[in-house]
Chains A and B, each alone.
Chain A
Amino acid sequence: MSAHTQPVPFTKPEPPIAPEKEVVESPFRDFLRAFLKHRSAVIGSVIVLSFLLIALFAPLITSYEYTARSQALLQAPSVDHWFGTDEMGRDLFTRVIYGTRISLWVGLFAISGSIVVGSFLGLIAGFYGGWRDTIISRFFDILLAFPSILLAIAIVAMLGRSLSNALLAIAIINIPTFGRLMRSRVLSVKSEDYILAARAMGMKNHRILFHHILPNCWTPIMVQGTLGFATAVIEAAALGFLGLGAQPPEPEWGTMLADARQYIQLAPWTMIFPGVAVALTVLGFNLLGDGLRDIFDPRMKQ
């Protein structure tokens, strides 16, 4: 603003602008400040980041192979084996560490898939309305008619048991969450004045959709995506536990818990550590998601 009132031609533009930069609040800096003040968001992001680093640097953290067997069967935690060993003498610490990769991978791909498909459908349903809305909304209703884990079981039972089918199933069951959110968000954004203005300017539908509506709908999707990540990790572990997800010898947390069940008396550590890993990951994403929601949408604050 001030630039217009000052006579510019004879002075260099840098000096008056540079100090102003300090004063101007960029939305990102605003966000960062609110974020750092929010305790659960910070704790959540620390947990999530730690798991991310563990997943990335798994081979550097442990010196064992996750499939390497040894003579030391079902040994209690010790200096050599921090989390003990399982029924095949494999180092449990190594398996839990590598399990992080699988869980984050499934969470990331499954939730990205649900977000892309769900948002796309929600966008169309909300923007165009009419028969498209009816069909898409009924499709969401149908998916929501099943308790989610049951639908996942049905899908995996049909396609065959494997980690990739479990991932696909998790992606499918989470579609309506994002779809409905996007739809309701589009419905409210659609009636804003700037959309009317864009229309008045003669803008085409797809341009309005992707340049004006979509950018204004991202925030809740991002928040829900973080929370959805938590759900996806639990669902992947649940499917693994039921024998429908990752197959042995994959070091998947749920599969490890299923194996550990038989040794509950002999070696409780085989089920304690993978479970703690699942719970911590989920807790991290839940804290982060709750925090993001509070920051972006103060009305939802508990």
Chain B
Amino acid sequence: MISYIIRRLIMLIPVLIGMSIITFSVVHAIPGDPARTIVGDKATPAQIQEIRENLGLDKPAYIQYFTYVKDILRGDLGTSLITKQEIAKEIKPFLAATTELAVVAMLIAVFFGVNLGILSAWKQNSWFDYTAMLIALIGVSMPIFWLGLMEQWFFAQELDLLPSNGRLDPRMEFDAITNFYSIDAIIQGNWYAFQDAILHLILPAVALGTIPMAIIARMTRSSMLEVMRSDYIRTARAKGLGEFWVVYKHTLKNAFIPVLTVVGLQLGLLLGGAVLTETIFSWPGVGRYIFDAINARNYPVIQSGILILATIFVVINLIVDLLYAWVDPRIQYGKGD
């Protein structure tokens, strides 16, 4: 197992290097004159020159790259062109907001996805199965930004049930400690704020969680169906175990390995979906941070925002792989992928 972990980590090195080259290119390999593109058409020569020096664009490409990597390794993610703040510091509350949203979205996706999948497999070919799988199919086909807009329109505008923007009622006085608002509210014993934070989470989390939910439901169903045909399930039934125990204990336990992988991969993909969801719901997360940066031509922020999300994505994938190997001893560590 340890040699597998080490091998997996070594394989990560070229990936990280490649990633850094791509994010580096976002600013430094803009075709034409990067400085002019970044500042925009109306810039004065002095402004262009300032940007050029600021970002080191006047130096040879390889020096620019090594400086970039050195800065990242020191934890320096550059400076925002708009706020003039250090990105590494500025991004923290955004990162917490994204994490909170992604975790809640994933909880929704896993809870509904797994249960829908189980029930569908259990009642295979029933109307419930067909309806659930149709919903799942529509779920994978739905552009999440459109789903988000529809939610806003229906639940916020028409029914006026749920808030559609931001993380909290802006009139509320609230001190962020960890920047996970729901946790902060509990720490402070502010139940009104807690309730409000949760209400604000519902719409974006459902939008973000829909695709993973649909994929998890389909995966759980097919995985359950496979396991249910196996001998030990027949034995369990023969022993006279109740159907509920057979399904939820015996089958689920063994059907969960492929589901776990999907959950991990989807958690990573949520980070990409966050850009769209956060944009729609004005959720102040990294996705929204990147979107605003795109519109403001704030290239260093685009660059570092993408780098951070991609790094988290890679780390999650690594954890999933290791978990997978740990949960399923049949995986051979010694051989290649």
Contacts and interface: CB of A to CB of B under 8 A. Distances in A.
Given A150-B272, A158-B25, A279-B146, A142 B14 contact: yes
Contacts of B152: 264
Interface string B133-164: 00001101111011001101100010000000
Interface in B253-290: 268-269, 271-273, 275-276, 279-280, 290
B119 interface: no
B306 A150 contact: yes
B143 A283 contact: no
Contacts of A261: 149, 280
Contacts of B11: 141
Given A138-B15, A147-B268, A160-B37, A286 B141 contact: yes
A89 interface: no
A275 B147 CA distance: 8
A162 to B, nearest CB: 12
Contacts of B302: 153-154, 157
Interface in B29-79: 29-31, 37
Given A238-B145, A243-B295, A153 B15 contact: no
A168 interface: no
B232 to A, nearest CB: 22
B311 to A, nearest CB: 9
B23 interface: yes
A145 B290 CA distance: 18
B291 interface: yes
Contact of B138 (A141, A146, A283): A283
B26 interface: yes
A237 B15 CA distance: 29
A286 B140 contact: yes
A142 B19 contact: yes
A150 B305 CA distance: 10
B281 to A, nearest CB: 11
Contact of A157 (B19, B26, B313): B26
A283 B143 CA distance: 10
A260 interface: yes
Nearest to A244: B294
B203 interface: no
Given A153-B306, A275-B149, A278-B146, A145 B138 contact: no
Contacts of A142: 14-15, 18-19, 22
A149 B149 contact: no
A158 B294 CA distance: 11
B299 interface: yes
Interface residues of A, number: 44
Contacts of B146: 237, 257, 271, 274-275, 278-279
B30 A158 contact: yes
Contacts of B25: 154, 158
A146 B310 contact: yes
A290 to B, nearest CB: 8
B309 interface: yes
A279 B143 CA distance: 7
B314 interface: yes
A96 interface: no
Contacts of B153: 264, 268, 271
Contacts of B141: 230, 279, 282-283, 286
A159 B222 CA distance: 42
A290 B314 CA distance: 29
A227 B152 CA distance: 29
B15 A145 contact: yes
B137 A242 contact: no
Contacts of A141: 11, 14-15, 18
Nearest to B138: A283
A112 interface: no
Contact of A283 (B137, B272, B303): B137
Nearest to A156: B294
Interface in A70-99: none
A151 interface: yes
B221 interface: yes
A43 to B, nearest CB: 11
B102 to A, nearest CB: 11
Contacts of A234: 143
Interface string A248-285: 00000010010011001100100110110011001100
26 contacts: A141-B15, A142-B19, A145-B18, A145-B314, A145-B317, A146-B313, A147-B271, A147-B273, A150-B271, A150-B306, A154-B303, A157-B26, A237-B143, A237-B146, A238-B145, A257-B145, A257-B149, A261-B280, A264-B149, A271-B150, A271-B153, A275-B143, A278-B143, A279-B143, A282-B141, A286-B140
Interface of B: 11, 14-16, 18-19, 22-23, 25-26, 29-31, 37, 137-138, 140-143, 145-146, 149-150, 152-153, 157, 218, 221-222, 225, 268-269, 271-273, 275-276, 279-280, 290-291, 294-295, 299, 302-303, 306, 309-310, 313-314, 317
